[in-house]
Amino acid sequence: MNEDFTTKWISQLKKGTLSFLVLSILKDGKEYYGYDLINEIKKRTQIDIAEGTLYPLMNRLKKEELVASKWVEQESGIPRKYYTISTLGLHTVNEMKTYWDSLNTTINAI
């Protein structure tokens, strides 16, 4: 039933929500690495993020200094890049939340 349009729409909707989602998850201060975030988001939200989406997204957040990262060698396996939210990131995600809530209120009022 017009799955095409709704599917495409969901992809467009992600353009605003993924950075918000990631920062929201990091908000409580816990560390996550990229691959982990993909699974965490899938588990919590049923939203699939392609690797080719998440890794560049994390690089942008890093470049904007909303998150910090550090490489952590594993005793076995591939090194992981762990991310933590910054003060600026916390401030930004709070602004986002305020905007999101007002947008949601507006949409519900229509």
Partner DNA sequence: ACTATATACTTTGTAATACTATGTATTTTG
Partner DNA sequence: CAAAATACATAGTATTACAAAGTATATAGT
Interactions with a second copy, residue window 43-102 (CB under 8 A):
44-45, 64, 66, 88, 91-92, 95-96, 99-100
Measured CA to CA, the distance from residue 67 to residue 33 in angstroms comes to 12
- CA torsion sign for 22, 52, 39, 100 is positive
Euclidean distance between CA atoms 38 and 33, whole angstroms = 9
- Distance, in Å, from the CA atom of 70 to the CA atom of 54, rounded to the nearest integer, reads 17
Radius of gyration of the chain (CA): 16
| Contacting range for DNA; rule: CB under 7 A; set: 4-12, 23-31, 84-92, 96-104 | 4-12
What amino acid occupies position 66?
Answer: L
- The residue from 23, 25, 26, 34 that contacts DNA (CB under 7 A) is 34
* Binding partner of 70, given DNA, a second copy, none, CB within 5-8 angstroms per partner class: none
Residues in the chain: 110
> Which of 73, 74, 78, 110 contacts a second copy by CB under 8 A?
110
Residues that bind a second copy (CB under 8 A): 1-2, 5-6, 9-10, 12-17, 19-21, 24-25, 27, 44-45, 64, 66, 88, 91-92, 95-96, 99-100, 103-104, 106-107, 109-110
